[in-house]
Amino acid sequence: MKFSVKRSELVNKLNIVSRAISGKVMIPILTGIKISVTDSDLTLIGSNSEISIKTVLSNTPEKQENLVIAEKGEIVANANFFTNIIKRLSGDRVDITTEGSQIKIVAGKSEFMVSGQSADNYPQLPRIDDLDSISLSSKQLIDIIGETIRSVSIQDSRPLLTGIHFIIDNEQLKAVSTDSHRLSQRITQISSANSADVVVPGRTLTELRALLEGIDQLNLQFDQSQLLVDLGQTTFYSRLLEGQYPDTDRLIPSESTTGFVIDAAQLASSLDRVSLVAHQSGNLVAKFTIKQGKLTISTAQSEVGKVSEELSIDHFIGQDLEISFNPDFVRDALSSIAEEQLNFSFTTNLRPFVIRPASFSDNNKVQLITPVRTF
């Protein structure tokens, strides 16, 4: 294998595939990047068994200065070591040659000789059969991930809850996540007649979101166990989580006994101050007191003190109520919705309460928070 490549182009490609590489893998060779050179292009692959990313740099005539191929071949290079070398080189171009299992790297006056591994031992990329494909804009997907990712569970005791549930049917995509204490739901219209019911790992979507800058439209392709996303020069693969996701529709209350509309920025500022006291006291509990059309947010007395603030609300309806909650969950919900005016609706102080944009009366954009029992 022998080729010359523009260093900035190689660094960009290495950054892409490195997102799939983890130090905690059962297969040692997956700590490396597979480098393959054909007569027409350079391909890099990174994988951690759950996520795989393939990206291609072609030596097209109009961009021939980016890549010049002298001899084809393939090898696996240690991901961290190889990437750090390339990033620290001073030259504009890098010449890479393999000599057996050794990789020779030359740029400017620098020359490295590092050990590689045979690419024959590198696992094959997943095969995806019987694909169901949907098309949507990258902005839609970025918004969906942003509005649901914070409610994904970080506990492995219930693996399905570490993912986001995608239900695609009748040109509609519903994304739901829950960690049993809170729930996020986003429903959006898409121009696709295909259907799917899959659970995509939260980490997959976090890494995928980071690759969407500069992408306009994309295709999500599913089979029973894998997701494939075609991003042009880059292809993203991920395994899907197996099992039946819980029925979350029944968790969202259809009626409320108390409700109000509040300015999101005002509430966010108040929650920041309340959280300071809650975190310092080690008791992550705050309380809404809704009485005679007024809202007070407070924390309980502790060794470090307490805080109480009265907030302005509009369109109050229903009964007086006191309800305790985790302030961090509500702060996350506000960040996920990212709207100026929010509608809060409650049933009892023991039932989950719902946060929606004030302009939404349906369940297309919902954050649900389970209250904290204080007795």
Whether 80 and 168 map to the same domain: the answer is no
* Residue 290, in any domain of the structure: yes
Q: Is the pLDDT of residue 304 over 70?
A: yes
130 pLDDT band (50/70/90 cuts)? low
Q: Look up the domain containing 315 and give its range.
A: 252-369
Residue-level pLDDT at 362: 87
Give me the CATH number covering residue 238: 3.10.150.10
Domain's final residue, options 249, 276, 307: 249
Structure tokens at 367: 């954050």
Whether 296 and 239 map to the same domain: the answer is no
Q: Is the pLDDT of residue 55 over 70?
A: yes
Domain's final residue, options 121, 154, 185: 121
* Residue 374, in any domain of the structure: no
Whether 243 and 314 map to the same domain: the answer is no
Residue whose structure tokens are 């649900």: 368
CB atoms within 10 A of CB 47: 26
Whether 243 and 282 map to the same domain: the answer is no
- Residue 68 CB contacts under 8 Å (≥ 6 apart), including other chains: 3, 4, 5, 59
Nearest to 14 by CA among 50, 48, 38, 45: 45
* Residue 363, in any domain of the structure: yes
Whether 265 and 237 map to the same domain: the answer is no
CA distance 257 to 320: 9
* Residue 164, in any domain of the structure: yes
Residue whose structure tokens are 């990206």: 55
Whether 224 and 287 map to the same domain: the answer is no
Whether 112 and 7 map to the same domain: the answer is yes
Whether 239 and 259 map to the same domain: the answer is no
What mean pLDDT value characterizes the chain? 93
Whether 222 and 268 map to the same domain: the answer is no
* Residue 375, in any domain of the structure: no
Region label for 30, one of left (φ > 0), alpha (ψ between -120 and 50) or beta (otherwise): alpha
Give pLDDT tens digits for 157-207.
899 999 999 999 888 999 999 999 999 999 999 887 788 899 999 999 999
The mean per-residue pLDDT over the stretch 3-7 comes to 95
Domain's final residue, options 219, 249, 279: 249
Q: What percent of the chain has pLDDT over 90?
A: 78
> Domain count of the chain?
3
Whether 256 and 360 map to the same domain: the answer is yes
Residue-level pLDDT at 62: 63
* Residue 244, in any domain of the structure: yes
375 pLDDT band (50/70/90 cuts)? low
Residue whose structure tokens are 């392709």: 221
Whether 112 and 145 map to the same domain: the answer is no
* Residue 139, in any domain of the structure: yes
SS3 breakdown of the chain: % helix, strand, coil, rounded to 5? 25, 40, 35
* Residue 127, in any domain of the structure: no
Amino acid 201 reads P
Q: Is the pLDDT of residue 135 over 90?
A: no
Whether 268 and 168 map to the same domain: the answer is no
CA distance 312 to 173: 35
This model's pTM is above 0.85: yes
